[in-house]
Amino acid sequence: MTTAARGAIARIPGSKSITNRALLLAAAALGPSRLGAPLVSADTVAFRRALEALGVRVDEQDGDWVVHGTGRGPHGRARIWCEDAGTAARFLPVLAAAGFGRFEVDGTEQLRARPLGPLVDALVRLGAEVTAGPGGRLPLAVRTTGLQGGEIALDSTSSSQYLTGLLLSAPLMRSPLTVHAAGLVSRPYIDMTVALMRRFGADVAEGPDGRLRVTGDYRATDLRIEPDASTASYVFAAAAVTGRSVTVPGLGRDSLQGDLRFVEVLRRAGAEVEIGEDGTTVTGTGRLRGGFEVDMGDISDTFMTLAAVAPLADGPITVTGIRHARFKESDRIAAVAGNLRRLGVEVTEGPDRLTVHPGPVSGGLVDCHRDHRIAMSFSVLGLRVPGIVLDDPSCVDKTFPEFHTEFARLFA
Ligand SMILES: O=C(O)C1=C[C@@H](OP(=O)(O)O)[C@@H](O)[C@H](O)C1
Ligand SMILES: C=C(OP(=O)(O)O)C(=O)O
């Protein structure tokens, strides 16, 4: 790698977002695709099992996953269990509806509470019969003879995942799909979707008005999966607040993941950052510079990483543009603010923002809300504040089952 590895080398597992996109793309292509170094965690195992329930064979070979794609949507009847995975609940109903038969889609109470209405509306307009649970959410019953394609508008203000779901399965529809996504949040995830669709042989053209038009078909493709940039945010922030140096190999300037831009926020807070061709290193000073406002709307999975350590800074830190973070595993603005206040920190909250004020932090119990990112973010604060205890440490299994072991190895 070109970035000089200084200090510790972190072992960060594969990207959840790339693993689950690649699983679907490989399933929709005809023939075997080998996915190298996939993430193995609750979200990706649920996604894989759901594809298997839809008739796609997935084999394991030396830690890689070989997906035997069918080149079409599923046929028959199946029940898909999405567990807690937003990506499964937003991507798989479209794949199912692009097939032929009857499919049920469900998940945990946590997932049932998350919005899905814009996707359900889109599937109905594309020709599927869909019965949804209360508020247009899970559970779904889908009855279908395939999806038409054509041109549709999509409310994308609460999540970008509906758009990704529609784009990924568009090559299986009868005619080319054009989507006009209104109020799109989390744009870097759409860039990731488009890049991966192109890797698998389809094309996506963006019109001057932002409309996305999908053409072409998928072909089986081998893909090596990058380490997860959102997961890497915890070790980068930990380096910043402990004055250590941490390198994540395999996450470099060509990364498909917008969340790598979190390191730019750490740079603003005073850390030294090197993004190389094939790795990124953050070197901290042990102090955080505050007194700034930052829009983290494009990288909202990482705002809690910053907010949890923000009381250690020398001035207030305001994060804006994160209204959609209220619709994730928890209402993340409320969850971060509530936990920080319980530890004695002053926090002001708006509908789409929060400000964390500097000051002493006491130990105490953190309510994880069964949200992996709350657990991992407050673990970073715990490196500097004794007595921080998580009420539910195992919720990290959603994306990083080995988190506590790896974190202890790096920072003990
Ligand atoms: O497409 C994806 O893989 C994701 C998109 C983002 O969700 P929203 O588009 O709902 O913000 C992100 O928070 C999530 O962890 C993964
Ligand atoms: C929001 C997240 O997950 P998802 O929407 O994929 O469930 C996340 O991992 O932070």
- pLDDT bracket for residue 412 (50, 70, 90): confident
Q: Mean pLDDT across the stretch 264-281?
A: 98
Q: Is 4 domain-assigned?
A: no
pLDDT of residue 7: 85
Q: Is 403 domain-assigned?
A: yes
**One domain for residues 196 and 270:** no
pLDDT digits (tens, 9 = 90+) for 108-149: 999 999 999 999 999 999 999 999 999 999 999 999 999 999
Which of 23, 116, 166, 186 should be mutated for ligand 1, with most atoms under 8 A from CB? 186
86 close to ligand 2 (CB < 6 Angstrom):
yes
For this structure, is 301 an active site residue? yes
**One domain for residues 340 and 398:** yes
Report yes or no: 190 and 164 within 8 Å, Cβ to Cβ: yes
Domain total of the chain: 2
Q: Is 9 domain-assigned?
A: no
- pLDDT bracket for residue 3 (50, 70, 90): very low
**One domain for residues 243 and 316:** yes
pLDDT of residue 1: 41
90 close to ligand 2 (CB < 6 Angstrom):
no
Buried b (16+ CB within 10 A) or exposed e, 279-304: bbbbbbeeebebeeebebbbbbbbbb
- pLDDT bracket for residue 6 (50, 70, 90): low
Sequence-separated (6 or more) residues with CB below 8 Å from residue 70:
27, 28, 30, 55, 56
**ipTM confidence:** 0.99
**One domain for residues 355 and 381:** yes
Check 203, 301, 331, 391 and give the catalytic one.
301
Can you spell out the DSSP letters for 94-128?
HHHHTSEEEEEEE--HHHHTS--HHHHHHHHHTT-
Q: Is 102 domain-assigned?
A: yes
* pTM > 0.90: yes or no: yes
Give, using CA atoms, the residue closest to atom 12 of ligand 1. 301
Q: Mean pLDDT across the stretch 194-203?
A: 98
- pLDDT bracket for residue 157 (50, 70, 90): very high
85 close to ligand 2 (CB < 6 Angstrom):
yes
Which of 15, 94, 116, 160 should be mutated for ligand 1, with most atoms under 8 A from CB? 160
Distance CA 403, CA 412 (A): 13
pLDDT of residue 2: 41
**One domain for residues 211 and 170:** yes
pLDDT > 90 in the chain, percent: 98
Instruction: Please give all residues whose beta carbon lies within 6 A of any atom in ligand 1, as ranges.
Output: 17, 87, 159-161, 164, 185-186, 189, 300-301, 324
CATH number at residue 134: 3.65.10.10
Distance CA 17, CA 410 (A): 25
